Structure 1
């Protein structure tokens, strides 16, 4: 079945016990797990709604990126607007972003149904 299940909402996911335990044991921050009941879902363990509590600033693109000193075709995030969480949402997107440390933990675990993609975000320095 997997360790991560998507829902009909683009940024709402369910995580299995294995995924939850991995986040807890590695002190990955910026998330919460909410218990849920999945009627009709045959599974050996429990499922949890993954809540992303970590926050970052707005993704800057186009002219806003250019004003920050980036190529207008780049996407940028200002690290000063990020709360330091390992899992976080940019202020203006529902995308879930992960730190390099969290990505390494997730990749080493070989979780099922978990695919990480590089974002291509450029840090904005002022």
Structure 2
């Protein structure tokens, strides 16, 4: 990881307060990693969705399919991959938390229970879905 287990925050020198010179503030790696991981992965589906939609549109155009149909086909492809990725992540989370590390302990369709997904998963998936739908809508209107 980029962060070590402890790091030092240096405070700038203020002439009126010499006691603040190089004050060290320890921070836990796990807390910082959690902050950075959430902010980095909130938009993890966006580049994936755009790449899938673009590749599908390109392939559709090479096969003689219209731009609008290709854009919507690409949108559905990207949505399917984003949703499948979150379903898989939810299944692995369930296995780690409740299944004792064994897939056979997981109930049928545990990953499909989207109402049990965490807020981050819902936002990430919804962001990718809305983006590719907006791009397909734009291709339809233009």
Q: What's the TM-score once normalised by structure 2's chain length?
A: 0.25
Q: What's the TM-score once normalised by structure 1's chain length?
A: 0.26
Which structure has the larger Rg? 2
